[in-house]
Amino acid sequence: MKRLYTLIFTLLSLACYCQSALDCNGSIYRVIEKSADISTLQKLYIDSDEDNLQVEHLAIYRGHRLNAMCYRPEDNSLYGLRLASPYELFKIDEDLSLSKEKVLPLPESLNFVAGDIHPDGDHMIVLGYGIEEQSNLLAIIDLSDPNYHTEMIPLSINGTDEYVICADIAFHPTTGILYGFDRVSNKMMRVDIEDGHISLFSEQVYSEDIGVVPSIFFDHEGHLYGFSISDEDFGSNKLYEFDTETGVADYVSHVDDYGSQDGCSCPFKVQMQQSINNKNQYACTEAQFVIKLINRTPLIQTGLALVDTLPIGMTVKSVDYNPFVAISHLSSNYRTISFTDFDLPIGEDSIVYTVYIDENVQPGYYENQAWLTQENPDSRSNLVEPLPSDDPVTSIVGDRTGFLIEKIKNLDRMEDVILCQGDILQLNPNVIGSLGMEWSTGAVSEHIDIVNTGTYDVTITGNCGTGRIRYRVASAYVDVELGEDRIVDKDQKIELSPLIESSSDIRTVIWSELNTFKVMECYTCMETTARIPLDMGVQITVRNADGCIATDELYASVEDIKHYIPNAFSPNGDGHNDIFYLQSKKNYLFKNFSIYDRWGNRQFIQQEGSVNDESYGWNGAGNGKALNPGVYIWQATIVGLDDQERTISGDITLLR
């Protein structure tokens, strides 16, 4: 459904640093570049009830092109990349002052303009794309490390050589799934950081070209918005709302405030999440619920009450952790637990309690939901209406926490798993609350580590019966070799062509340097070239469709051009030492090999040729006549394997 938004500008100040502080509290931020090297920081307000979009200007940063911006609640700051050569990490504090933190080792051949903060709060994730290189890299920057350690992960679309043009990314506020929009396919995308996979999805064939989406962000209700700029209509923006399940884009409105830009958000106000220690539970065992309470408002929430009524067949056994000054109550049937008259400080913390699952519970799928309310009407709270808990593993905001209950005595299944050659594989049934496990190997531990393929059975004993799981373990492998180490000239370009053997298709390839110099022409290609400026190593890491990983390293040693020139020769026709020619360890090309007498008269010149070839040498003659014995000066220009020219010279004694 289309909703028309009216664009309202709230101009607080055009001074370089406004007094407005940053805050979370569901805030949305955007940095926009309307003219060269001038970036404006804005705060956006999307009001679905009033159907308007408000823009508040916060600060102007002259001499900076800012992008890949993301909000970090841990220090109430904005981070991003300064688009310079090389890329620089920047930080905007809550007083809106900008500082350049670190030059980052990001390949300049890729465009790194899409960024967000990982749900762990310690890492900044930046996605790079290359139009000419046609590849994608994910950079993981450790913001907790003073040196901002950066790790590179290659990305692929289902193991193909296709690539995406994605100008911004955003983590879902509860599931932690990373979303973006691909300009190439005109589809929504999800990024799996763990295995480097990009999945494109959309149930809609767009009748129009959405274009590039340089700003994408979630609001506090879990709605994903994005500003788009199409190639045909670059002078304007369109605001879309994207469905994170179907990929459908709903056009919202036309926005006249345009330019190169990037957006981010901190989509929390007051939020409650309920999780269970395992989505697969068993009768006659204990389960543990965790209620996480998050307060990103600037106020302490006072006078709150929390209540949770469990499904039939589950009863509260104990409260394991309660950091709030709250009184807990249990109903007579032990199914309802409540916490009353407590305050929620700014930040986040959790309540943890253990429940027992009865033997007679019916196997099946169950859901549970807690509620947070303002108990005291005179208290200070943002809770106008009761707040339901949210299942953090789903993309639906405010949904009930789902889980499956089984009976161990009904457990009988088979699982196929892969063991990569040379690896150790852990088999772990992950059955919560079992009394014991007995493996076909004789082990009685909760899990076993294996190094061989085959079939492995485990018998699981519980309070209410016995079950079995059978694992069928198949073999897979991948191996990569870069060959022998090399000796090269300074700045010589070398070809890197790995030899790969694999049980399945290669899904990802990533090249890296073993020092801080960036020398690769392509970091995700199967083959690449590197220009070697000094003694250094390069590394390749490959991963196949079975999930097996292999690496290899190659070291290149740089040596100067070495020439071996005799100090005398005797062109007397005896077949020994009759020709003076340039000699070296390698067959370099040369230019302008010249011989001069002591008065500076040139007696011989060879315009071009190859060293170590006496046919390009001097026979002791000048102008067709044999020259007198004496000392002569020689000079030549050597062309190195790096195509760089070096001039060398010396003297030679002619003997008769």
DSSP string of 19-88?
Answer: SPPP--TTEEEEEEEEETTEEEEEEEEEETTTTEEEEEEEEEEET--EEEEEEETTTTEEEEEE-SSS-E
The residue type at 315: T
Residue 281, pLDDT score: 93
Residue 253, pLDDT score: 79
Burial class (CB in 10 A: 0-12, 13-18, 19+), 147: exposed
Task: Tell me which residue of 552, 582, 560 sits closest to 492, measured CA to CA.
Answer: 560
Task: Tell me which residue of 501, 547, 504, 509 sits closest to 525, measured CA to CA.
Answer: 509
| Contacts of 159 by beta carbon, 8 Å cutoff, 6+ apart | 197, 505, 506, 507, 508, 545
- Residue 492: strand pairing partners: 532
Residue 16, pLDDT score: 36
Residue 523, pLDDT score: 82
In tens, the pLDDT along 341-358 reads 899 998 889 999 999 999
Average pLDDT along the chain, 656 residues, taken 10 residues at a time: 36 35 82 86 76 82 94 91 92 93 91 94 94 86 95 81 90 90 90 89 66 88 84 63 89 75 87 93 94 86 94 96 89 93 90 95 96 79 82 86 93 94 93 83 94 96 91 97 90 92 91 81 88 90 92 90 86 90 88 93 93 93 91 92 83 91
User: What structural domains does the chain harbor?
Assistant: 6-266 (2.120.10.30), 270-406 (2.60.40.740), 408-474 (2.60.40.10), 478-558 (2.60.40.10), 568-654 (2.60.40)
R_g (Cα) of the chain, nearest Å: 34
Residue 427, pLDDT score: 96
> What secondary structure letter does DSSP report for 585?
S
CB atoms within 10 A of CB 244: 20
As given in the structure block, the two tokens for residue 443 are: 């082990």
> What secondary structure letter does DSSP report for 634?
E
- Cα distances from 652 to residues 1, 44, 593, 635, 655, in angstroms, run 89, 78, 13, 11, 10
Half-sphere exposure of 123 (CA within 13 A, CB side): 16
CB atoms within 10 A of CB 399: 18
> What secondary structure letter does DSSP report for 137?
E
* d(C-alpha 218, C-alpha 173), whole Å: 7
Residue 403, pLDDT score: 97
In tens, the pLDDT along 66-80 reads 999 999 988 889 999
